[in-house]
Amino acid sequence: MVAAQELDAEGCRSGVYAINADLLAVMLQGKSFPEGFLVSIIDGAVADSWEGFFTGIAHALEFPAHFGRNWDAVYDCLTDLSWLRADGFVLVLDDFDRLATNEPDQSHVALKVLHDACAFWRPLDRPLFVLLSGSVGPRAGLSELPECCLSVADERASKEDGRMMAPSPETAFDRDIARSWELNREGRGKEALAILRALVDQYPDEPRAHFEYAGALDFQGREAEAVAPYRRAQALGLSGDDLPRLHVQLGSTLRNIGEYEDAERFLAVGRARFPDHAGIQAFHALALVSADRCAEAVVTLLDLVTSNAERIDLDGYDRALRAYADELRAATATEIA
């Protein structure tokens, strides 16, 4: 972990910053802050109104179900975040111009709340960074995110801190994971878990170790025990192809242990991040059913089917199915309102 004091020493302090296109591209690739920091992104197309902003930030940071959808509640949640296990938080507001254009007064309130929340975390050891892309940041007098915030991460990642470095591809680490799954399929679950537990101990800051350990617990029906290592993998910055798998597996696990609202929220975040991932959509539909939101579940499944119309023979009915999905979507929106 890079402590808040180390970041401050490098001129990188918890706060609200503008972010240019190049740094945003780095952020979207998951190559940015030190491992252990949780990076969340809100799409400006979602947060183009104050209602959309509340929806986007609640999904991105997994706000609890009692979130009040007002600015005071945003501040309260941002200065808590106890439900997320991370060494620091990075909230990227992509294309903040949309909110500023559509609702300038609300965007000013949003900036005030975000500034105050960052100030709350500044003296603590879990910094909060809010990064705005678009023209609003410079117009509001925000400085750009210092490059040292990213260079600190790069330098830290290249040094040993007394523990083993993250494994490179095709190493003994990967062979151990492959062997653990062979053992699982052979019904030798205890041996599989022993291998993966050893990897977690050997590579405590490697998200894949925690993710694979959680997956093995899940596979063996020990779903309640799998939640903590899944969350740890998330907090450590799980990336690549494993990240959508995390949304499927943890979302499904939360649903199976009865945490329906958390399951729906986590899978909704996954859909926002990976809109073309059919598995996330399907499991989100299941979570919506469990949360007694059946109409939304049907809409989700119809969207999934019609978006794959080229590969599924709908016999020309894809247009009708899209229309029915739109009708259900509108009816659901009216009920929620």
The verdict on 256 and 185 lying in the same domain is no
Q: What is the mean pLDDT of residues 106-119?
A: 90
Burial 187-206 (b: 16+ CB within 10 A, else e): eebeebbebbeebbeebebb
3-state secondary structure of 38: strand
Residue 281 pLDDT exceeds 70: yes
- Of the residues 184, 205, 235, the one at which a domain ends: 235
pTM across the whole model: 0.51
The verdict on 224 and 267 lying in the same domain is no
The verdict on 307 and 261 lying in the same domain is yes
Note the pLDDT of residue 222.
93
Q: What is the mean pLDDT of residues 63-91?
A: 87
The verdict on 116 and 218 lying in the same domain is no
The verdict on 258 and 332 lying in the same domain is yes
Q: What is the mean pLDDT of residues 305-312?
A: 75
Note the pLDDT of residue 2.
39
User: 228 lies in which domain range?
Assistant: 170-235
Digit-coded pLDDT (tens) for 118-134: 888 887 767 888 988 87
Q: What's the rounded Cα separation, in Å, for the pair 182 and 214?
A: 16
- Of the residues 157, 186, 209, the one at which a domain ends: 157
How many domains in the chain?
3
Which pair of tokens denotes residue 211? 């993710």
Residue 334 pLDDT exceeds 70: no
Residue 24 pLDDT exceeds 70: no
Q: What are 131's strand-pairing partners?
A: 17, 92
114 alpha-carbon distance from chain centroid = 19
Residue 183 pLDDT exceeds 50: yes
Contact 304, 281 (CB under 8 A): yes
pLDDT: which is higher, 336 or 207: 207
The verdict on 222 and 290 lying in the same domain is no
Note the pLDDT of residue 8.
45
Burial 91-123 (b: 16+ CB within 10 A, else e): bbbbbbbbbbeebeebbeebbebbeebbeebee
- Of the residues 191, 209, 235, the one at which a domain ends: 235
**Residue 94 within a domain:** yes
Q: What's the rounded Cα separation, in Å, for the pair 169 and 196?
A: 17
Q: What is the DSSP string of 67-118?
A: --SSHHHHHHHHTT-TTS--SEEEEEEETTHHHHHH-HHHHHHHHHHHHHHH
Note the pLDDT of residue 31.
52
Residue 82 pLDDT exceeds 60: yes
**Residue 60 within a domain:** yes
Identify the weakest region by mean pLDDT among 68-72, 89-93, 160-164, 246-250.
160-164
Describe the strand order of the beta sheet including 88-94 as a list of residue ranges.
15-18, 128-132, 88-94, 37-43
Q: What is the mean pLDDT of residues 93-114?
A: 89
Digit-coded pLDDT (tens) for 206-224: 899 999 999 999 989 999 9
Residues 6+ apart with CB under 8 A from 228: 214
Helices assigned H by DSSP within the chain: 4-9, 21-28, 50-60, 71-78, 97-102, 104-121, 136-139, 148-157, 172-185, 189-202, 207-219, 223-235, 242-256, 260-273, 278-290, 294-307, 318-336
The verdict on 33 and 148 lying in the same domain is yes
Please provide the average confidence, as pLDDT, over all residues in the chain: 81
Residue 272 pLDDT exceeds 70: yes
Identify the weakest region by mean pLDDT among 27-36, 241-250, 320-329.
27-36
Give the pLDDT band of residue 191 (cuts 50, 70, 90): very high
Which pair of tokens denotes residue 130? 């809010």
The verdict on 244 and 227 lying in the same domain is no
Note the pLDDT of residue 279.
86
- Domain CATH number, residue 302: 1.25.40.10
Give the pLDDT band of residue 147 (cuts 50, 70, 90): low
Residue in the block written with tokens 């995110």: 145
